Each structure stands twice: as structure tokens, then as C-alpha cells.
Structure 1
Amino acid sequence: MSLSRRLLVLAAAVLLLAGLAAALVVRAADRAERPGTGGPEIAAGGGVTLSRQGELLFLNSGQGPRRGALAAVPAGAPQSARTASDLDCRRFYAAAGTGVCLRSSPGALAQDNKALIVDADLRTVRSLPLAGTPSRARVSPSGRFAAWTVFVSGESYGSAFFSTRTAILDTRTGKLEPSLEEFALSMDGRDHRAADVNFWGVTFSKDDDTFYATLATAGQTHLVRGSISRRTVTTLAQNVECPSLSPDETRIAYKKRVRPGATLWREHVMDLGTLREHALAEKRSVDDQAVWLDDRTLAYALPTDGAADSTDLWTVPADGTGAPRLLTSGASSPSRPG
């Protein structure tokens, strides 16, 4: 075979292999966006807003090209094809047409982490630097206040040593409370000051003043009730983390450490009037701030079986009955803003 023919055969082989590789890439991407084939199905077009009634919003955590994107599905069909937006977040929450998106790039320095306040059309109305790695995010029922928690050292609430910082922003006036550690703290009826105080996991009341959160100090965690206007927090109960206030504001859902020092938690609900608690039917360890889908149902994220760095959303009845149920796969940070 002549040299020129050999070169032609080689060129044809290279083109054939390149075409095969491109086809495999396209097929893999297509499979990554279809349920049961490696990832959730992504619907084309449609747009995502924070004002549409009857939708469930969440971050797409499935493997594929839209990983991290804010997505929407009909609340009555949570496992249907999802519409993905162009907004990418590490944590997200929305209420009354206001959203808070916490951004962080892998390995990013603290100054690269940001909190974005977005309107109902997902347009950024304010951007603020974060002091660390995003952890929790919430918006008050009216949309007026946004809160977020970041790790300033450590990467897990199960770590032996970690430090958090929790901020609250008034989205109407622009006033920022950069750290709840600056609020006056009353513990068991006495003023409390300590270098090891940490707060995380804010949840808001409808009155645009009252909030609940986790306090950690002296090796114990506490449920606290706070006032934004008075800049005060008061302890209510022990061994409460990542509280979530029910829509009727009579109960708190939270994760409770199963034993001192353990990195395992059990989801509970507490009656705020009596401080009596009961465990939920979910017996797996939930390291998340649960969301009330309604007055009877809680949603939370759990790691996806066999998939690294991915979570699925589950639900469980709030009264302790029933059993956990898969809500939708490849998702995190749920909210019902409409």
C-alpha cells in the first residue's frame, strides 16, 4: 500500500473514531437527563419563576449538564420532567417571590462565595460576600427577611471542630445583621456570653420579627427564639438542630442527635406550646434542615444510594405515623414559594 493511501486510511479512521466519540458524549448527556438512565429528565423551555402556584422548587443534584441548577416541577407530580433555570446555587430557598441563592465553587476561597437575593424572575437584586462555605438558607414567609449560615471552619456539623456564622438581611431596607453572635443571649434566664457560641439554621415566623435557630455552646445544642427588632435570642430546649417552623406556627421540626458526640440524627417534631416532642417515622440519619410542604408533611434530603455527592428528596408525615416516601430523585433545597 502506498504512503498516500495509508494516510487516507488513517485519516478516515481518525474521523470515524471522532464521530463515534461525539455520539457517545451526546448519548451520555441524553441519558443523564432521563429518569432511570443515570439522571432526572430535564424538560425543554418553560422558564422558572418564584411566583407560579402549585410548583415545587429545588436544586438539581443529579449527574448531568444542569447539575446545581434551580429547577421546578408540578407539586402534584414531583417525579415528572423538571424545568431547569440558569440560576446555579449550592443552597437555595424562596418565599413570597424572593429567593436566596448561596453560591460556592469547589475549592473556592471565602471571598468567592456569595449570597444572591433574587426576585420572582430570578434576577439578582443584591449580591453579598459570604464568610465561608454555604450551609443553610431561609426566607421569611413574607419575603422580607433572608437568612443564611456558612461554615467558617470545618465542613460538617458532625466535625469535632467547626465554626459557623449566621446572617439575616432585611431585603426591603438593605440592613444586614452579619452575625447572630452579636445578639444578646439569654440562657436559662441569665445573660450568656462565651467564645464558643455558634448559631445556625434560622427559620422565620410570619410576624417579620420572630425567628428560631440552633445555638451551640459548651458542647450542647439548644433551640432558641429570637427577635430581629430587639436583637435578642432566648433558649427554649436542648438537643435541637436545624429547626423548621410549621405553617401554622405551632410546631418545630428538627434533627435530634441520637447520643452525645454521635454524628447521627433522628428527625423529630416539637409542640411549641408544651415543648413535648415525638420522633418521626424516618429512622435514617438526616443531616438537613427539613421543609414543611404543608401542615402535615415534611421534606428533606438524603444521600443517593450508590451516587457520590448527590441527594434525593424524601417526605414523611409530621405526626410520627406512616413511612418515608421518595419525593423526587437527584434534588436538594426544596421550597414551595407560590
Structure 2
Amino acid sequence: MRRLLFALLGSVLLIGAAVAFTVQARQSVAQDGPAAEQLTLEPGQLLFRDTGTGRVSSVSPTDPGGARRSSALVCDRFAAARRTAVCLAARPGALPAVTDVLVLDSTLAVRHREALPGTPSRARVSPDGKVVAWTLFVTGDSYAATGFSTRAGLYEVETGRLVKTIEELPVFTADRRYFAADVNYWGITFAADGNRFYATLGSRGTTRLVEADYGRYQGKVLRENVECPSLSPDGTRVAFKKEVSDGVWRLAVLDLASMVETELAESRSVDDQALWQDGSTILYGLDDGVWSVPADGTGGPRLLVENAASPAVTG
């Protein structure tokens, strides 16, 4: 857990240092790059965060290397599904760190905002567009040997219900409730109905894959050494990263029925929450670009979009 938190914190700080934006405007035009365009969430889009400007941008899924359209919205982390998006934007210079969680409509206009302590790490929107999730790094937890821990939260778009942290989520392992002072959650991913979700539970130096029911508000542990899960469109498989050595992660896919794991054909260390582009292709951010790799372990990685991160595919 300590190695993971240091590695992720480093990534977050590098991202935050690379992006300059005006928090009050939230959608102000970045100083560099082409003039901003109005982007609208529509089915079949490939969106991402331009790493040069921080702007939310899009390309044609059939021509990802072609011309990109860039909005005025600047984020450190971005996610979208259906007609809902979420932008995590760290306030520069704020001590302690503060992140603006911006819930966006189909035109990328802000419909709700929350200022929460921490720095951006992960973001997701449920496939039905009704629930938004995020993970932030925070400081000050007495149990955290590194001085850092995480907060994963949820927001219901239609009702406005806010869950600032799911740390109190009752989780069971072998029919017994799991208790520990150092429980942390991160990397939430949703099923199609927005109710079933998966997340990483980190505690006592071990990461665990948790399956949870949002309506009943409880979960169960499925297996260990699973981080940043991403549920497939058909809800049968989870793409994830697993630690294979100190600070080195590999991508794999877990079949939830058989619990058979398939390692993907990406030999580099990937410290990201992967995304399913469709039922057979995994997307992830690495080396200042969005890459793709087959979900069945065949083939090899392919650079999809240069100077990009935080890919999002609208259904």
C-alpha cells in the first residue's frame, strides 16, 4: 500500500504541476493550443485530456490519429458516459490540497461542483450516466505510515446525493465483516445499471477487489492483488493492474465467473485505471499517450492518441 500511494502521488503531482488553469472560470481557455470549440457528449465519441494544455478534447474513433477538437474545459482527470461527465481539477497552490469535482452535462457545462480536500487520482461515470465517482489523495490520516491515503466518493446526478467517502462501506470476506483502521478505497468502476460497482480496497499492505451493491450499500471481497478495476461492457470481466514487483504494475483481465486471469500483451508498467473501448479492446494512459491492447492477451500495444490521458468513450 505504501509503495502504491507513493507512486500514485508522484503521478498526480506531476500532472498537477503540468497544468495551469483558472479555477474560478472552470472553463476558461487555455493559454496554449488552438481556439476552443464547443464539445457535446454524443454516442461513440473518444474523449481524453490533452496533456499539453489540460483541455478536454476529442478525436474520431475511426481516425484517432487525425485532427482533434479541444474544448475550453481544463482538467487533471476526466471521465464521461452517456450525457454526463466529471472533471477533477486541482486548485493550484492550495495548501492543503483542494480539488474541484465538477459534474458536467452533455455540453460540458458545470451542473454541480464540490470542493473536496486532496489531489486528483481517478474518475468514472456509470454507463447510464447517473452516478459519478472519483478518487483523491489526502493527507493527515494518523494510520497512514506514508502520510497519504485516499478518498473515494460518489455523486448521484439525478438526486444530488453526495457520498464524500465510501470508507464506511461494510465489506465482507469469507462471510465475516472486514474491520481495519487503515481501510482505503480507490478506482471505482460501475456495472451498466449504476448500482453494482467494483473498487480496490487497500489495507494492511494488501489490495483487494471488492464487489459492492450501492442500493444495499455493502460489498464483498473477491480476490487479492487487484487495483483500479474496470468492468467490461457486458459486466463479465474486470480489467485491472496488478503489482508484479516493487512499483511495477502489469495489466490483466479477470473473468468474474471462473476467476481465471489473463495477462495482457503490454510488457511495460502501467499505473492507470484502464478503460474498455469496447468488448475486446482496453485503453490506458502511458508515456504521454493513450494506448490500446486486445483484452484477450493476444496482439500487442498500439499508440492510439499522442499527448493524451484520461480516455473516455461515450456509449
Q: TM-score range by the shorter chain?
A: 0.7 to 0.9
**Which residue of structure 2 aligns with residue 73 of structure 1?**
59
2:47 is the alignment partner of 1:57: yes
1:288-335, CA deviations, whole angstroms, 9 ceiling, x for partnerless residues? Answer: 0001000000010112xxxxxxx2111100000001000011000101
- Alignment partner for residue 315 of structure 1, among 261, 284, 292? 292
Q: Is the 8 A contact 1:298 1:318 kept in 2?
A: yes
Which whole-Å deviations, capped at 9, do the CAs of 1:38-66 have from their partners, x for residues lacking one? xxx96656521112x3321000002xxxx
Please tell me whether the aligned partners of residues 37 and 71 of structure 2 are also in contact (alpha carbons under 8 angstroms).
Answer: no
Deviations 1:49-108 (A, max 9, x none): 112x3321000002xxxx100001111111111111011111010001000100113432
The one of 43, 47, 51 equivalent to 2:38 is 47
- Following superposition, the deviation at residue 162 of structure 1 comes to 3.0
Deviation string for 1:116-146 (max 9, x for gaps)? 0010011110000122001000000110000
Number of the residue aligned with 2:279: 295
Gaps of 5+ in 2: 1-31
Code of the residue aligned with 2:51 in structure 1: it is S
User: 2:241 is matched by which residue type in structure 1?
Assistant: K
Q: Determine the C-alpha separation between the residues in 2 that align with 1:258 and 1:106.
A: 34
TM normalised by structure 1 equals 0.79
Structure number with greater Rg is 1
Amino acid at match of 2:282: L
Structure 1 segments unaligned to the other structure (5+ residues): 1-40, 304-310
1:197-236 alignment, distance < 5 Å: 197-236=183-222
What is the DSSP-based 3-state SS (H/G/I as helix, E as strand, rest coil) of the residue aligned with 2:117? coil
1:10 corresponds to which residue? none
> Counterpart amino acid of 1:59?
R
The answer to whether the Cα contact below 8 Å between 1:43 and 1:82 also exists between their aligned partners in 2 is no
Q: Which amino acid aligns with 1:336?
A: V
Separation in structure 2 between the aligned mates of residue 130 and residue 211 of structure 1, nearest angstrom: 22
Cα distance in 2 for partners of 1:197, 1:240 equals 15
Contact kept in structure 2, 1:168 and 1:176, CA below 8 Å: yes
Seq. identity, %: 47
In terms of fraction of residues, the more helix-rich structure is: 1
Q: Which amino acid aligns with 2:116?
A: L
What does the per-residue CA deviation read over 1:170-216, in whole Å, with 9 as the maximum and x for residues that have no partner?
Answer: 11101111111111121222111111100000000012210000001
Contact 2:100/2:115 (<8 A) preserved? yes
- Equivalent residues of 1:223, 1:240 under 8 A apart: yes
Distance 1:77 1:130 in 2: 37
Instruction: Name the counterpart of 1:169.
Output: 155
Following superposition of structure 1 onto structure 2, how do residues 121-132 of structure 1 map, counting pairs within 5 Å?
Answer: 121-132=107-118
Deviation, structure 1 residue 161: 5.4
Q: Distance in 2 between matches of 1:130 and 1:49?
A: 27
Q: How many residues align?
A: 280
TM-score (norm 2): 0.85
Aligned residue for 1:113, secondary structure, equals strand
How far 1:111 sits from its partner (Å)? Answer: 6.4
Larger strand proportion of the pair: 2
Per-residue deviation, 1:112: 3.9
Q: Give the whole-Å Cα distance in 2 for the aligned partners of 1:61 and 1:210.
A: 32
Output the CA distance in 1 between the equivalents of 2:189 and 2:169: 16
Aligned-residue Cα RMSD (Å) equals 1.8
**TM-aligned CA distance change 1:42 to 1:73, over 3 Å:** farther
Alignment CA distance shift 1:43-1:77 (3 Å): farther
Structure 1 contact 246–292 (Cα < 8 Å) conserved: yes
Could you say what secondary structure the match of 2:230 adopts?
strand
Give 4+ residue runs of structure 1 displaced > 2 Å after superposition: 41-47, 105-112, 159-162
| Secondary structure in 2 matching 1:196 | coil
Could you tell me which amino acid in structure 1 is paired with residue 195 of structure 2?
D
Partner of 1:266: 250
2-structure distance, mates of 1:218, 1:45 = 46
Matched, 1:237 2:223: yes
